[in-house]
Amino acid sequence: MRSSLIILGVFAFGILIGLLSIIPSSIDLGNLSMTVLYMLMFLVGISLGLDKHIWEQIRQMNIKLLLIPITTLTGTAIGIVAYQLMFSYPKGADLYAIGAGFGYYSFSSIYINKVSGETMGIIALLANISREVITLVFTPVIVKYFGKIAPIACGGATTSDTTLPVILKYTGKEYVLGSVLNGIILTILVPVIIAFIYSF
């Protein structure tokens, strides 16, 4: 729980720094974020390469690897339907498109904003950022009560990048490939699914 609070604190500190406009506008935060992400993936790769037993473990759970994205898709669809039964806003295609963001807020919020307006774009941004933050903060609790695959499903498209470190820490190296695979597949599917939803 301590590490989760540290993550939340760092996130809150970042928001504060942004609000105070301390970072010079000349710094391209997008490129900086990608550089940090590349370094993260490099370090995770080294960690995997040093583990002599992980590839055998991965071979033994290959069926589970394929089931993780399916579980994520199914669980999210059930969640959307449950929400629709309880609340009246947003409704229709907007609700399904927001849910189909799978945490990929940088794409889903922009696309939904263009198709359905600024309000829906902001809701999509907040909903999908929330999915990422919940995974970052509550992964220890999710693992404890729901198992090691649960935080991967919770993280959605973010599990191949931003939420990968916390998933690695609390599930173990044998779940890293499943996490990366889940994130990559969902990242590819998000634009397709959202475009399909709005095509009707």
How many angstroms separate the CA atoms of 178 and 183, rounded?
A: 9
Q: What is the pLDDT of residue 4?
A: 55
Q: Which residue has the tokens 């173990």?
A: 172
Instruction: Give every residue of the chain whose pLDDT is below 70, as ranges.
Output: 1-5, 7-8, 29-30, 33-34, 36-38, 40-41, 44-45, 47-48, 51-64
DSSP-assigned letters across all residues of 45-86: HHHHHH-TTHHHHHHHTHHHHHHHHHHHHHHHHHHHHHHHHH
Q: What is the pLDDT of residue 22?
A: 80
pTM above 0.85, yes or no: no
Q: What is the pLDDT of residue 162?
A: 84
Q: What is the pLDDT of residue 75?
A: 92
Q: Which residue has the tokens 């198709």?
A: 115
